[in-house]
Amino acid sequence: MSTLTFMRRAIALSHETMERGGGGPFGAVVVLDGRIVAEGWNRVTSSNDPTAHAEVTAIRAACSTLGSFSLAGGEIYTSCEPCPMCLAAIYWARLDRIYYANGRADAARIGFDDALLYREIALPIEQRILPMTQLLEREARLAFDAWETKTDKVRY
């Protein structure tokens, strides 16, 4: 299968699942070794899960199918440029490449504007709109200290 075939499948998912009421018009496929190992689509409104974006649902499905938290060696094809959350998930999943169709300006035009998120991430914590307060740092550090010395940890 070709890159265009994979992208066409992501685009088809975006349209088909949106028409069925699954969520917004977004679809994604994860490809490994030249084959689709998982598909995902936006399920935010149908599952009442604000994190159920197409890329995230595709990554979750791929990891479940493969029995691994790492998708190294794989690629993701998504019908739209990933939002900051999905982009972070793609990095955490260790995917090697992103292919996308619509851009973030296209998404903003139909009401999915990520500009605020991109601006906020770049700001120092104290300048962000959403207040953040650090509490009990010393107590929380105990778990980090234990992780640091744990001999059987699985790194990711």
What confidence tens digit (pLDDT) does each residue in 135-152 have?
999 999 999 999 999 999
HSE-CB of 50 using CA atoms within 13 angstroms: 2
What residues are annotated to the active site? 55
Secondary structure (3-state) at 107: helix
36 close to 9: Cβ distance less than 8 angstroms: yes
What pLDDT shows up at residue 39? 98
What SS3 state is found at 98? Answer: strand
Judged by phi (left if over 0) then psi (alpha if -120 to 50, else beta), residue 146 lies in: alpha
What mean pLDDT do residues 91-111 have? Answer: 96
Once rounded to an integer, what is the mean pLDDT over residues 51-73? Answer: 98
Please tell me the pTM assigned to this model. 0.93
Q: In this structure, are residues 96 and 74 in contact, taking their beta carbons and an 8 Å threshold?
A: yes
Q: What average pLDDT does range 54-82 have in this prediction?
A: 98
Where does the pLDDT of residue 52 fall: very low under 50, low under 70, confident under 90, or very high at 90 and above? very high
